[in-house]
Amino acid sequence: MQENGFPHLNNDSTKVALVEGDKSHTYSEVNQRIDKFASGLLGGKEDLQEERIAFFLPASLDYVTTMHGVWRAGGIAVPLNVASAVPELEHYLSCASVTRMVSTGKYLTSLQSLCESMAITLISVEDLLVNELTKLPAISPERRGMMLFTSGTTNKPKGVVSTHKTIRAQITTLIEAWAWTEEDVIPLLLPLHHIHGIINILCCGLWAGATVHLFAKFDIPKIMEQVVAGTYNVFMAVPTIYVKLIQYFETIEDAEVKIICDGFRPMRLNISGSAACPVKLFNQWKELTGQILLERYGMTEIGMGISNPYDGERRAGAVGKPLPGVEAALFDEEHNMITDEEIPGEIRIKGDNVFLEYWDNPIATEESFRDGWFCTGDVAVVEDGYYRIMGRSSIDIIKSGGYKLSGLEIEGTLLLHENITEVAVIGVEDETWGESVMAFIALREGANMEYADLKSWCEGKMSSYKIPKAIRIIDALPRNAMGKVTKPKLKELLC
Ligand code: MCA
Ligand code: AMP
């Protein structure tokens, strides 16, 4: 282990860190494997000097080995969405100038030609587990450690770069605020290319010395088996997961529902975040399980910023107060800080938790900060000290099942369809997904389009959760005098 760096991992020896199916791995086993992998990655070099190493791995021991191995060897970890379509992957890999990609099993075959065409060396963790350990570099906190891709109001996702200091701040504030301890056992059922899964669950758990159960997908019966067995004392998910659990309860016997809900009841904490938790859902979950959901607010660029309290009132429909070490304030359109309660404004955030930069995009980085504050684009009010999210400043951002999607990115792909002349994508309210993607489409003269055909056409061109759930064919998109599409008018068409 390096001496001065930021290993971000507990060093307890015998405690179980990870459970993966019927296998479990202790902290000492995981730590040793990481050191071997980091030594293999270095391959004789003293320091990777922020080489971007991508990984295309489901939640697994290999994932943890790779992420921490890259950190310990001085690289930048670039975890990728294992559900990505090839054009999306091409963008991530070229944007980050990735040189090596770590993957496993069947993916090693499916990624081969893409990696070859981009001169990226494709490797497995096993390939780099060396027995002779090298001295690992000392990593200063200001060094870049991770790049995650996020959708914005531009066509292509941007790489959000965090330093080791950022990562540390994001983890430690949650350890303190949510009272993580080594006694905690938590299931990880979220994808591992976003903060929610990576920082809030995996990194916090492994920093605290807790046990994290890894699930490669949201497998309700398997996870519920463990809930019933009383395995977990903490549960974190996006609102859609709680909705889907309630929908699942409607498909099984009442007695079984009761047993599952009794498994949730004694947990010390159930958290909802990544998208608004409707008050109805908050109340339903409380009625079913007795759990008062702790809702919090975060963003890829800031980790978590605002949270309802662990001890104290958890207010339905509100996201709470700024976390320890995080400064939050509301600003009006003239960039004046709002000091009166109940006047809405944009949430801006300061603190060590805030990212360093958008990779290779100084203009976007500069535009996203004002006077040292990161401008989130989310609008809120403060009521009695509690922040309540009112919406977003951009209609081009859609939050579906916890994923942040760019309407413009989806439009860009749909426009490649030979029969589509104009398209506008918006999010429409949806009980399961929060918002679901809807496309308004104008067609080439004489052309027809069935939804099912468009859906099949989209497959492989974008991640499946970005594919519109519905389309509406219209003659022409509504535009203002400047020729800009007026998306709010499209929403009105649905009323
Ligand atoms: C799956 N589908 C979706 C979504 N997920 N459609 C719209 N929105 C989605 N989010 C579609 C698939 O395309 C597929 O469609 C069908 O649903 C079944 O797919 P499957 O993968 O089996 O679905 P699932 O396992 O039930 O997934 C639902 C899910 C998943 C578990 C809620 O969406 C998910 O993991 N969401 C969380 C994402 C996340 O971690 N977000 C945090 C980022 P078809 O059948 O037509 O092919 S935000 C963040 O990190 C910030 C910092 C924060 O605040 O936390
Ligand atoms: P992402 O960049 O994918 O991490 O998504 C961050 C966005 O998710 C934020 O800018 C918010 O719009 C939204 N978000 C996260 N948590 C909440 C919440 N509790 N309530 C409402 N929106 C949320």
Which domains does the chain show, CATH number per domain? 16-197 (3.40.50.12780), 397-492 (3.30.300.30)
**In whole angstroms, what is the distance from residue 292 CA to residue 270 CA?**
7
For a substitution probing ligand 2, which of 295, 349, 398, 404 has the most ligand atoms within 8 Å of its CB? 404
Sign (positive or negative) of CA dihedral 442, 446, 451, 454:
negative
Residue 188 beta carbon below 6 angstroms from any ligand 1 atom: no
Which ligand has the shortest distance to the CA of 150?
A: 2
- Cα dist. 286→53, 185, 290 in Å? 43, 21, 4
What's the rounded Cα separation, in Å, for the pair 405 and 59? 22
- Residue-level pLDDT at 3: 41
Separation of CA 228 and ligand 2 centre (Å) = 30
**The pLDDT value given to residue 2:** 40
What is the structure's pLDDT at 4?
39
**pLDDT at residue number 6:** 57
Contacts by residues 168-172 (CB-CB < 8 Å, ≥ 24 positions apart)? 168/6, 168/8, 168/141, 168/352, 169/303, 169/325, 169/351, 169/352, 169/353, 170/195, 170/199, 170/203, 170/302, 170/303, 170/304, 170/353, 171/8, 171/199, 171/203, 171/204, 171/207, 172/207, 172/325
User: What span, in angstroms and rounded, lies between the C-alpha atoms of 2 and 25?
Assistant: 21
Q: Which two tokens stand for residue 351?
A: 């603190």
Cβ atoms of residues 117 and 358 within 8 Å: no
State whether the beta carbon of 307 lies less than 6 angstroms from ligand 2: no
Ligand nearest to the CA of 435: 1
What is the spatial distance between Cα 156 and Cα 406, in angstroms, rounded to a whole number?
8
Ligand 2 center to residue 402 CA distance, Å? 8
Which value, in Å, is the radius of gyration of the alpha carbons in the chain? 23
Atom of ligand 1 nearest to the CA of 466: 7
Crossing angle for the helix pair 279-289 and 254-264, to the nearest 10 degrees = 100
Residue 306: the pLDDT is 98
Q: Could you tell me if 437 and 398 are in contact, meaning their C-beta atoms sit under 8 angstroms apart?
A: yes
Q: pLDDT per residue over 330-372, tens digit each? A: 999 999 999 999 899 999 999 999 999 999 999 999 999 999 9
Both tokens of 155, joined, read 């066509």
State if residue 271 touches ligand 2 by the CB under 6 angstroms criterion: no
Q: How far is the CA of 378 from the centre of ligand 2 (A)?
A: 8
DSSP-derived letter for residue 465 is: G
Ligand nearest to the CA of 196: 1
Tell me how far the alpha carbon of residue 391 lies from the centroid of ligand 2, in angstroms. 10
> β-strands 76-79, 100-103: how paired?
unpaired
Ligand 1 centroid from CA 331, angstroms: 32
Closest-approaching ligand to the CA atom of 247: 1
Q: What separation in Å is there between the alpha carbon of 241 and the centre of ligand 1? A: 9
Predicted pLDDT of residue 156: 87
Using a 6 Å cutoff on CB, does residue 217 contact ligand 1? yes
- For residue 134, give the nearest of 65, 75, 72 by alpha carbon: 72
Give the number of the atom of ligand 2 that is nearest the alpha carbon of residue 404.
Answer: 3
In this structure, what token pair is assigned to residue 106? 């069947």
pLDDT tens-digit profile, the chain (495 residues) = 344 345 578 877 789 999 999 999 999 999 999 999 999 999 999 999 999 999 999 999 999 999 999 999 999 999 999 999 999 999 999 999 999 999 999 999 999 999 999 999 999 999 999 999 999 999 999 999 999 999 877 768 999 999 999 999 999 999 999 999 999 999 999 999 999 999 999 999 999 999 999 998 999 999 999 999 999 999 999 999 999 999 999 999 999 999 999 999 999 999 999 999 999 999 999 999 999 999 999 999 999 999 999 999 999 999 999 999 999 999 999 999 999 998 999 999 999 999 999 999 999 999 999 999 999 999 999 999 999 999 988 999 999 999 999 999 999 999 999 999 999 999 999 999 999 999 999 999 999 999 999 999 999 999 999 999 999 999 999 999 888 899 999 988 887
Residue 319 Cβ contacting ligand 1 at under 6 Å:
no
Predicted TM-score (pTM) of this structure: 0.96
**What 8-state DSSP symbol labels residue 320?**
B
pLDDT of residue 150: 94
Closest CA to 427 of 488, 495, 347: 488
CA of 12 to the centre of ligand 1 (A): 34
Closest residue to atom 30 of ligand 1, CA basis: 401
Tell me the C-alpha to C-alpha distance, in Å, between residue 219 and each of 84, 189, 191, 235. 20, 8, 12, 14
- Going from the Cα of 135 to the center of ligand 1, the distance in angstroms, rounded, reads 41
- 299 Cβ closer than 6 Å to some ligand 1 atom: yes
Answer yes or no: are the C-beta atoms of 346 and 378 closer than 8 Å. yes
pLDDT at residue number 1: 37
Mutate to test the pocket of ligand 2, among 297, 326, 406 (most ligand atoms within 8 A of CB): 297
Which of 328, 456, 458 shows the shortest CA–CA distance to 386?
Answer: 328
Q: What is the DSSP string of 228-252?
A: HTT--SEEEE-HHHHHHHHHHHTTS
For residue 276, give every residue at least 6 positions away whose Cβ sits within 8 Å of its Cβ, in sequence order, or none. 239, 389, 399, 434
DSSP class per residue in 147-193: EEEE--SSSS-EEEEEEHHHHHHHHHHHHHHTT--TT-EEEE-S-TT
Task: Tell how far CA 410 is from the center of its chain.
Answer: 19
